[in-house]
Amino acid sequence: MPAAAMRGDITYSGRARRVAVLRCLVAAMVVTILLAGLAALIFWLVVRPKPIDYTITGAVARHFNVTPPPDATANATFYLTLATDNPNRRVSILYEWVEFRVLYGEAAQLAIEDAPAPFWQPHRNETRLEVRAVARSVPVGEQTARELRHDLAAGQVGVDVRMRARVQFKVGGVRSRRYDLQAFCSPVVIGLAPSSARSFQSVPCDVAIS
């Protein structure tokens, strides 16, 4: 056989092998994706995960006062109750740590406090977290001070409550990776009269998990 023909056969054979290997790799990737999708579908059909609901069900502010500008500071003690409802039949939740922040709009963080943790929340369970967050001589801007003093004179103040937590989900004996969970509750309108706690309107929270 002529040398040129042999080289042509070798080149064609090498190209054919590369094409065959590439096809095998593509087929393997397709099979992997299909199996992963099937596993996810089976998991969903078995577990049927439902979203966790978070609601501020109680909020009280005591000893709330704001010193006048220009060197304004805010003082208050916030008593917050957060209800966390896990409606899932098979999913329980481990809260490794939980943090609460009380904010006045985007301009001022009034108080920050950790909730007791870690703890497990079983499936089909509602857990209530009670938090006491204290603002001690927190500096606030002049505009924020004026708005807060106006709210205090009106007898109620509207704040935002942000809860952050590090969580793991457990199905059977299997734990998930760790997730960052955030619940943003707004507006939380707190009456300042001693009897206002009885008329507090619950505030549902927006939840994000990453």
The domain total for the chain is: 2
Q: Measured between alpha carbons, how far is 159 from 141 in angstroms, rounded to an integer?
A: 16
Q: Are residues 26 and 118 in the same domain?
A: no
Q: Which of 47, 62, 85 is at the close of a domain?
A: 47
Q: Are residues 13 and 116 in the same domain?
A: no
Instruction: Determine contact, residues 80/54, Cβ cutoff 8 Å.
Output: no
Q: Are residues 107 and 165 in the same domain?
A: yes
Work out the angle at residue 180's Cα, subtended by the Cα atoms of residues 100 and 101, and round it to the nearest 5 degrees. Answer: 15
pLDDT digits (tens, 9 = 90+) for 83-104: 999 999 989 999 999 999 999 9
Say if pTM beats, i.e. exceeds, 0.85.
no
- pLDDT at residue 163 in the model: 97
pLDDT surpassing 60 at residue 41: no
- pLDDT at residue 45 in the model: 36
pLDDT digits (tens, 9 = 90+) for 116-174: 999 999 999 999 999 999 999 999 999 999 999 999 999 999 999 999 999 999 988 88
Q: Are residues 97 and 6 in the same domain?
A: no
Q: Are residues 75 and 41 in the same domain?
A: no
- Structural domain of 5: 1-47
Q: Are residues 63 and 80 in the same domain?
A: yes
| Partner residues linked to 53 by β-bridges | 85
Q: Are residues 60 and 74 in the same domain?
A: yes
CA distance to 17, 18, 19, 21, 24, per residue, from 9 (Å): 12, 14, 15, 18, 22
Instruction: Determine contact, residues 97/105, Cβ cutoff 8 Å.
Output: no
Mean pLDDT computed over every residue of the chain = 86
Q: Are residues 34 and 97 in the same domain?
A: no
Q: Are residues 10 and 92 in the same domain?
A: no
Strands of 87-121 (E only): list them. 91-104, 108-115, 119-121
